[in-house]
Amino acid sequence: MQAIDLAVIGGTGVYRLAELEDIESHVVETRFGLPSGPVRVGRLEGRRVAFLARHGEGHSVPPHLINYRANLAALQDLGVRRVLALNTVGGITVACGPRVLACPDQLIDYTWGRVSTLCEGEPWASAGGEVLHVDFGEPYTRSLRAAVVDAAAHAGVELLDGGCYGATQGPRLETRAEIARLRRDGCDLVGMTGMPEAGLARELGLDYACLAIVANWAAGAGPDPDEVITLQDVLDNVAAASAGLPALLRAL
Ligand code: HPA
């Protein structure tokens, strides 16, 4: 069987990849338990591509309860080595307004209380508990980021190359003061699912890059500081910003 060339993890508003053909579904029980749902493996431009909806296909799993370890292990168990994470985010800095697509190159982790490493619980404890201290200075895989940026250029899809992703706990959105702090810290984007996923991918030895889809101005970051963020705005903007995704994925 041909190897799987790429896995895509879909975030809020992206629950399937309509362009996949000949789809097989895999329900994978991993050593970390069950992932958020079945992994759909199909064909795109003659390559095998896997897709997993991070929150489940019915968006039933909130960011702090996602079994990130099982999601990544399920993909790896199917033979995946490269993961493109789609993350729906709020925009903080001026270039990151709603409907922008960005491929960040840095992140800051503000999440807490999540299982964020392989070095915790089972099967790590029974296996002797070797402690991993993976290098994470560059949290996204350089070669995969470069391939995403090239693919966007090839496909004529506008993509912001770089930026810092701030990963917050959710599921509530942030206060204006929290976003002001993230801005001072150097964050351009804010989302709830960027970590621990990126760190776990590094521990598992997977290539990993993030394609952030800006759904809204983060609290107080846009031209109207009193703007209230609604789920409908988020979904509408994700749908509009995702228009270029099929072409980008084909090129990738
Ligand atoms: N904050 C955090 N996560 C998000 C946002 C936001 O404003 N929009 C979409 N995901």
pLDDT the model gives residue 29: 97
12 assigned ligand-binding residue:
yes
Helix axes 197-204, 68-77, angle to 10 degrees: 40
| Segment-wise mean pLDDT, segments of 10 residues, the chain, 252 residues | 93 91 96 97 96 95 97 98 98 97 98 97 90 96 98 98 98 97 98 98 98 97 90 92 95 96
C-alpha 145 – ligand 1 centre gap (Å): 22
92 CB within 6 A, ligand 1: no
Which residue's alpha carbon is at the smallest distance from atom 2 of ligand 1?
Answer: 191
pLDDT the model gives residue 229: 87
pLDDT the model gives residue 1: 75
pLDDT the model gives residue 55: 96
Which residue's alpha carbon is at the smallest distance from atom 9 of ligand 1?
Answer: 89
pLDDT the model gives residue 225: 80
C-alpha 229 – ligand 1 centre gap (Å): 9
Place of tokens 């041909």: 2
Q: What DSSP character marks residue 229?
A: P
Q: How far apart are the first and last CA of the chain?
A: 21
81 assigned ligand-binding residue:
no
pLDDT the model gives residue 11: 93
C-alpha 45 – ligand 1 centre gap (Å): 32
Q: What DSSP character marks residue 174?
A: P
26 assigned ligand-binding residue:
no
Answer whether 25's CB lies under 8 Å from 70's CB.
no
ipTM: 0.99
pTM: 0.97
pLDDT the model gives residue 129: 86
